[in-house]
Structure 1
């Protein structure tokens, strides 16, 4: 138990949740978030800015964290950008061990938080202090540098079916989609990758989390899977087809990482776990170990 806080302080973690995580029974994902934040004695703030029913959202997580034995958890009320630049609210984030962003609308979350002092404090908490930052549903989509702002969910990918916006940038060169299998969003994520082949698509199922340890590796928790779409080597006619047409997508790589999957990049003196070059590229990118950008 003594080694975990040392690793947390050295690396920092992201817990990216596909939505509808269990908040009443085993609470596997929330339990892991609390552990990575430093345990039940840690300080946790809950950001509900993505939701238009912030008080209702807070009551759900207030009860869930209380059930887990966390006593130092607080609701960070952010109704506008002035709130996100308030010195006291920024201080709360800067000193927090765990920061949890709830679901709602990721565009609303970015409109309130993006580019503010609170945004900068979250990045500093992760990188300097090794805090744990989590986001579920809209909070998950907002964690990447390129954020899925809106898009159709059809059976086939389509040109022009999705649009991107700037996200919070905790991970780069990826786009994150949530409620992935439950809402049949494979075609939507393929549309993103077809239009933006330099981006890796990450689809996360409900009650499932992709845990990223900065500079180190990943694990998948929960009941579902994480789907990774890599189109960097694909051939496509996307540039030549009409809007709403279905593109040809040749040689697209897909990784399926079910709950229980764990991959870590070796540190000095450690043996390397065998993995494909494309999966290793994915790990290096999301953990910022020799990142692609």
Structure 2
């Protein structure tokens, strides 16, 4: 299937200043970090009408939506976006309201904020809103962008819980169904800063066909046609490829016991590096061998 939409998944942002501060115009340049000037700008560049694209901020994952939504509006408007709004969907019945669905139909970009990815899937999953999202992503020049929880929920399989320190103990990592925009991957966020690599190891050893994607903060991936991934932002993307695993004790140990894995392949991507999900080949943009 030829996917016309694009995914932009983001690991989260370091808090280096808030757009809700007073004296916005005076301090805006100091408040912008790489996430806001780099990745949000890339969203505009990739969108159908650039700065005139209709952008809807979806705050469903957040428990403080009235604070988070306006912050993103100000961030996009500082980058000269002309047409940004916030859709507050906090109950499943709202995801079937015609006024809400009409705004989604007219959107060129949706930006899902951070929070709890289970709020996203439990509130939006299986609703008319979800159906329209998937249809637009498959058939239109449309961008699904998500940070933190919004990124984790984008794939068909979703990590929703798991201690970083005990992630390689059998059963510690909890996986559920995501929103289903992309198959064959599982995504974790705030990855480097919170030491979550063990969570991806366990997710991948349970099904080595699935590629683990760990997104650092201030870092994202632009995915086109569900095949080509480009690292964007200032940090690192860690890929965990389990297809060459030679052995594991996963099925032999009890719940809560350590997992052993032999020959798990990892890749580290930084800005402008690419990875093809069909060939599993990575290209380093600034390779020392060029």
Using the size of structure 1 for normalisation, the TM-score is 0.84
Correspondence for 1:5:
none
Correspondence 1:17 to 2:19 = no
Moved more, 150-159 or 250-259: 150-159
2:52 to 41, 52, 58: 41
| 1:32-71 equivalences in 2 (<5 Å) | 32-38=42-48, 39-71=50-82
Give the gaps of 5 or more residues in structure 2. 17-30, 283-290
Seen in structure 2, the aligned counterparts of structure 1 residues 62 and 165 have a Cα distance that, compared at 3 Å, is same
Correspondence for 1:203:
214
Correspondence for 1:242:
254
1:228 to 224, 239, 246: 239
Seen in structure 2, the aligned counterparts of structure 1 residues 32 and 246 have a Cα distance that, compared at 3 Å, is same
Secondary structure of 1:238's partner? coil
**Alpha-carbon distance between aligned partners in 1 of 2:113 and 2:281, rounded to the nearest angstrom:** 29
**Alpha-carbon distance between aligned partners in 2 of 1:99 and 1:278, rounded to the nearest angstrom:** 28
Secondary structure of 2:85's partner? strand
Give the gaps of 5 or more residues in structure 1. 1-8, 266-275, 281-293
Equivalent pair of 1:50/1:106 in contact (CA under 8 Å): yes
Using the size of structure 2 for normalisation, the TM-score is 0.85
Q: Deviations over 1:60-114 (max 9, x none)?
A: 1011011011121111110100111111111211221111000000001111111
**Alpha-carbon distance between aligned partners in 1 of 2:55 and 2:234, rounded to the nearest angstrom:** 24
Equivalent pair of 2:160/2:174 in contact (CA under 8 Å): yes
Secondary structure of 2:62's partner? coil
Q: CA RMSD in A?
A: 2.1
Correspondence for 1:173:
184
* Residue 197 (structure 1) shift: 2.5
Number of residue equivalences: 262
**Alpha-carbon distance between aligned partners in 2 of 1:104 and 1:10, rounded to the nearest angstrom:** 27
**Alpha-carbon distance between aligned partners in 1 of 2:3 and 2:174, rounded to the nearest angstrom:** 36
Correspondence for 1:278:
280
* Residue 262 (structure 1) shift: 2.8
Moved more, 65-74 or 147-156: 147-156
